[in-house]
Amino acid sequence: MTDATVRAKLLGLPGSLRSNSNSLAVLRGLQGALPADVGMDIRDLRLPLYDQDIDGPDAPAEVHAFRQAIAEADGVVIVTPEYNYGMPGVLKNALDWASRPYGKSALIGKPVLVVSNSPAFTGGVRAHQQVNDTLLAVSADLVSGPQVVIGTVGEKIKDGKLVDEAVLKFTLGMVDKLIAAAGK
């Protein structure tokens, strides 16, 4: 797919570092089900712990690359698991880096879709709310409408990808709203 044929460029952020995480499987399933003119890059969240003392022009290269990826995306899809009733630390850390510099964050006004997942039937609703709260605090443009919460996620994954047709259809509908929010 060339830039000329891409209608929308999305950035997928899995809220887990595990190589075969359910969050990554959800993103891979979505990535494979997107229309041909919509691209999605999936980015790892391996960043140093946020430290304002090292932030700024001399921040680590991976931080600059992460912020640039957000800035260049038309919209962001965050898929989070729920750890101990909350958002994983790695995701919170990434959002803290992305929220800077204050008042100039690439997340300001950026359309974002949050998807949560859990092996439990509750689907990570507590983590979902924490991610939403953090994104609202940094003035991201959260996609409105029903929230995408995937319970018993392990039953919906095969060969490292989300394959549940009903979940994919619903989530792709919300991705359409994300793309529309980006004006694409």
Average pLDDT score over residue span 70-97: 98
Residue-range domain boundaries for the chain: 3-181
For residues 11-45, one letter each, b for 16 or more C-beta atoms within 10 angstroms of the residue's C-beta and e for the rest, the string is: bbbbbbeeeebbbbbbbbbbbebeeeebbbebbeb
Asked if the model's pLDDT at residue 42 lies above 60, the reply is yes
Give the per-residue pLDDT at 4.
64
Q: Tell me if residue 151 falls in helix, strand or coil.
A: coil
Give the per-residue pLDDT at 132.
98
Q: Which residue has the higher pLDDT, 148 or 3?
A: 148
Asked if the model's pLDDT at residue 138 lies above 60, the reply is yes
Average pLDDT score over residue span 58-64: 96
Give the per-residue pLDDT at 100.
94
Give the per-residue pLDDT at 6.
86
Residue whose structure tokens are 């060969």: 159
C-alpha to C-alpha distance for 115 and 40, rounded to whole angstroms: 15
Mode of pairing for the β-strands spanning 141-142 and 111-117 = parallel
Average pLDDT score over residue span 149-170: 98
Average pLDDT score over residue span 129-150: 97
Give the per-residue pLDDT at 5.
84
For the beta carbon of residue 123, count every other beta carbon within 10 angstroms.
21
**Mean pLDDT, all residues of the chain:** 96
- Residues in Cβ contact with 152 at an 8 Å cutoff, skipping those fewer than 6 apart: 119, 120, 121
Q: Does domain 3-181 have CATH number 3.40.50.300?
A: no
Q: pLDDT band for 1, please (50, 70, 90 cuts).
A: low
Give the per-residue pLDDT at 127.
98
Average pLDDT score over residue span 114-140: 97
